[in-house]
Homo-oligomer: A and B are copies of this chain.
Amino acid sequence: MRADNGGVPKQNDKTVTPSPARRRELLATAAEVFAAQGYNATTVRKIADEAGMLAGSLYYHFDSKEGILDEILSSFLEELWQGYDAVLAAGLGPRETIEALVTESFREIDRHRAAVAIYQKESKHLAKQERFGYLVESQQKFEKAWLGTLERGVAAQVFRSDLDIRLTYRFVRDTVWVAASWYRPGGQHSPEEIARQYLSMVLDGIAVRE
């Protein structure tokens, strides 16, 4: 549990200075292994092995296994919110906002597939730990953005009012993010194309209209 008391930057004051480039490489391989096997099932020896080194050598770059996970998740969320905030600040209508959020989400899945998969699997019980408190904050901010947009849409009569709004929220949220479990970059469809079809299903349904 970090406990970097009182505004002190998160950076730990090691005497050694690992290169940021190498760190990013190692974070990427660690993320892949975490995503494939689960965080707890992944040993630091496995990560090191995948990176072509020994377990102890990882501790030259990072101070703990949990620290690696922390960095993967927090840097992902940071980038996610950059995109989201831009969308939310654009002043779009409810339907256009939802469309933009979904599209942005699929782009994020495309770029951070492993991180998203980890987030999906682990965030729920990680959020209980103090160190990962920012997961809770992010989740609340997330709900506020999505649920708020949906409510705005219902008020503006562009979204149906006969549905439980919280059920709708979870429906939209989940359908987007679970895609990380099967999505593979460089596949048949681009993130934008997947977003387009998802939106089409969510907004208009899969049944034929008459």
Cross-interface CB contact of A160 among B157, B194, B208, cutoff 8 Å: B208
A21 close to B (CB within 8 Å): no
Q: Does A204 count as interface, using CB distance less than 8 angstroms?
A: yes
Q: How distant is A92 from chain B, measured CB to nearest CB, in Å?
A: 15
Q: Tell me which residues across on chain B come within 8 A of A179, comparing CB atoms.
A: 170, 174
3 shortest interchain CB distances as A-B pairs: A205-B205, A40-B40, A204-B205
Residues A164 and B206 in contact, CB atoms below 8 Å apart: no
Chain A interface, >50% SS class = helix
Q: Look across to chain B and name the residue whose beta carbon is closest to the beta carbon of A164.
A: B197
Does A1 reach chain B (CB closer than 8 Å)? no
Contact A208 B36 (CB under 8 A): no
Contact partner of A206 (CB less than 8 A), chosen from B36, B159, B207, is B159
Which A residues from 172 to 198 make CB contacts under 8 A with B?
A: 172, 174-175, 178-179, 181-182, 189, 194, 197-198
Binding site for B on A (CB under 8 A): 36-38, 40-41, 95, 121-122, 124-125, 157-160, 163-164, 167-168, 170-172, 174-175, 178-179, 181-182, 189, 194, 197-198, 200-209
B208 near A205 (CB under 8 angstroms)? no
Assembled-state Cα–Cα distance A97/B198 (Å) = 22
Cβ contact within 8 Å between A202 and B208: no
**A157-B208, A201-B205, A206-B202 are known contacts. Are A36 and B163 too (CB-CB below 8 A)?**
no
Asked whether B202 lies within 8 Å of A163 as measured between CB atoms, the reply is no
* A197 contact set on B, CB distance < 8 A: 163-164, 167
A125 and B206 contact, CB distance less than 8 A? no
Additional 17 contacts, C-beta under 8 A, given A163-B200, A170-B182, A171-B175: A38-B125, A40-B40, A95-B207, A159-B206, A160-B207, A163-B197, A167-B189, A168-B201, A171-B198, A172-B206, A174-B174, A178-B178, A201-B202, A202-B205, A202-B206, A204-B205, A205-B205
Please determine whether A206 and B160 come into contact, CB atoms closer than 8 angstroms. yes
Contact of A207 among B159, B189, B198 (CB under 8 A): B159
Query: Is the Cβ of B201 less than 8 Å from the Cβ of A204?
Result: no
